[in-house]
Amino acid sequence: WPGRMAEACWRLFLALWPDEAVTGALDAAGLAAQRLGGGRRMRRDTLHLTLVFLGDVEASRIPGLVEALGAVGGDAFRLQLDTLGYWRHNHIVWAGCAERPAALDGLVQALRSRLAALDLSVAETGFVPHVTLLRKAGVAGALPGFGPIAWPVAEFVLMESCRSDAGARYRRLAGWRLQAV
């Protein structure tokens, strides 16, 4: 419409957010990897595991999105972070898991289904559960030793990503508990 302003969009994603103990262990792993290959370490307050990236969503759709996501069920689970990896194509060092819990894949599928029912398109990329530790890393050799980190996952969250010259800042919009098993 001529003269009509475009509706504001928010850059959103669904994620698992670690508690302080897991965050500390991930931050220490990032520091050890940085000593070997340089790079920009992720700030402690930004460490997370993205479940689904939604991208830009119109502000008016957020209340309906929050309500619909509240109906997504799932069981709490334990995520065993036991692998450090390096993606050469984008120079990222990450922490991941050798074995993916079925509950994690089930949660991601349930979230994708709910988003599709809301006509929110989500890129159909292969889901690789990981926590980014370093960006712009130059790992030439082996990554440092990495002891397993036990992450008790009891909720998922809807986050807004706010970009600035200082880097991304994340704001929690909503969170949902997973069922204790």
- The mean per-residue pLDDT over the stretch 104-113 comes to 95
Report the mean per-residue pLDDT for the chain: 90
Q: What is the pLDDT of residues 126-156, one digit of tens each?
A: 889 999 999 999 877 778 888 899 999 999 9
Active-site residue identified among 30, 130, 134, 157: 130
Q: Does residue 166 surpass a pLDDT of 80? A: no
Confidence bin at 6 (pLDDT 50/70/90): low
Length in residues, the chain:
181
Active site residue 130: yes
Q: Which of 48, 93, 120, 129 is catalytic?
A: 48
| pLDDT for residue 105 is more than 60 | yes
CA 149 to chain centroid: 16
What is the three-class DSSP state of 82? coil
| Close Cβ partners of 46 (under 8 Å, ≥ 6 residues apart) | 167, 168, 169, 170
To the query of whether residue 48 is one of the catalytic residues in this protein, the response is yes
In our burial notation (b when 16+ CB lie closer than 10 A, e otherwise), range 91-111 reads bbbbbbbeeebebbeebbebb
Q: pTM (2 decimals)? A: 0.91
Q: Which residue has the tokens 């991304």?
A: 168
Higher pLDDT, 35 or 16: 16
> What is the per-residue pLDDT for 7?
66
User: Can you give the pLDDT at residue 2?
Assistant: 47
What is the spatial distance between Cα 58 and Cα 174, in angstroms, rounded to a whole number? Answer: 16
CB atoms within 10 A of CB 4: 6
pLDDT tens-place string over residues 37-92 = 889 999 999 999 999 999 999 999 999 999 999 999 899 999 999 999 999 899 99
